[in-house]
Amino acid sequence: MTQGRWLFLFTAIVFLNVVVANDDETPAELATPVSSTTLDQILFFPSREAPATVVSLNNSMISAEISGEILELLVQTGDEVKKDDVLAKIDCEAYEIAKQRASSALNSGYARSKYAKQRLSDAERLRNSRAISSDQLNMRSSEAGALASEIGVLSADLKEAKRRITKCIVTAPFDAVVVAREASVGDYIRPGSVLVRLLDLNNLEVSAKIQQQDVDSLKIAGTISFITSGKTYSVTNRTVVPLVDSRIRSYEARLNFSNDVAATGSAGRLRWESDQVHIPADYLVERNKQLGIFINKNGSAYFHVLDTMGNGLPAPIDLPENTEVITTGRYGLVDGQAIKIVNP
User: Which value, to the nearest 10 degrees, does the dihedral of the CA atoms of residues 227, 232, 237, 241 take?
Assistant: -20
Query: Same structural domain for residues 108 and 225?
Result: no
**Cβ-contact 338, 300 below 8 angstroms:** yes
pLDDT digits (tens, 9 = 90+) for 264-322: 889 999 999 877 888 998 899 999 888 999 999 989 999 999 987 666 778 889 899 99
Indicate the range of 4-13, 48-57, 110-119, 235-244 predicted with least confidence.
Answer: 4-13
Residue 284, in any domain of the structure: yes
Query: Same structural domain for residues 76 and 188?
Result: yes
- Alpha-carbon distance 97 to 99, whole Å? 5
Domain final position from 275, 302, 325 = 275
Query: Same structural domain for residues 103 and 123?
Result: yes
- Alpha-carbon distance 195 to 67, whole Å? 12
So what's the pLDDT on residue 68?
94
Q: What is the DSSP string of 131-151?
A: -S-HHHHHHHHHHHHHHHHHH
So what's the pLDDT on residue 131?
64
Query: Same structural domain for residues 63 and 75?
Result: yes
Q: Is a pLDDT exceeding 60 seen at residue 77?
A: yes
Domain final position from 228, 255, 275 = 275
So what's the pLDDT on residue 71?
95
Query: Same structural domain for residues 243 and 271?
Result: yes
Query: Same structural domain for residues 323 and 208?
Result: no
So what's the pLDDT on residue 7?
47
Residue 13, in any domain of the structure: no
Indicate the range of 21-25, 41-45, 95-99, 149-153 predicted with least confidence.
Answer: 21-25
Query: Same structural domain for residues 142 and 156?
Result: yes
So what's the pLDDT on residue 41?
92
Q: What is the pTM for the complete model shown?
A: 0.61
Query: Same structural domain for residues 158 and 104?
Result: yes
Query: Same structural domain for residues 211 and 188?
Result: no
**Cβ-contact 45, 317 below 8 angstroms:** no
Residue 315, in any domain of the structure: yes
3-state helix, strand, coil in the chain (%, to 5): 30, 35, 30
Query: Same structural domain for residues 175 and 80?
Result: yes
Domain final position from 218, 241, 275 = 275
Q: Which run of H or of E encompasses 343?
A: none
Residue 3, in any domain of the structure: no
pLDDT class of 174 with cuts at 50, 70, 90: very high
Residue 111, in any domain of the structure: yes
Q: Which domain holds residue 299?
A: 25-44+279-341
Residue 1, in any domain of the structure: no
Residue 7, in any domain of the structure: no
- Alpha-carbon distance 197 to 344, whole Å? 70
Q: Is 289 left (phi over 0), alpha (psi -120 to 50) or beta?
A: left
pLDDT class of 34 with cuts at 50, 70, 90: very high
pLDDT class of 4 with cuts at 50, 70, 90: low
So what's the pLDDT on residue 138?
72
Query: Same structural domain for residues 207 and 146?
Result: no
Number of domains composing the chain: 4
Burial class (CB in 10 A: 0-12, 13-18, 19+), 23: exposed
Query: Same structural domain for residues 123 and 240?
Result: no
Give Cα 98 to chain centroid, integer Å: 48
- Alpha-carbon distance 154 to 166, whole Å? 19
Question: Mean pLDDT in the chain?
Answer: 85
- Alpha-carbon distance 237 to 149, whole Å? 56
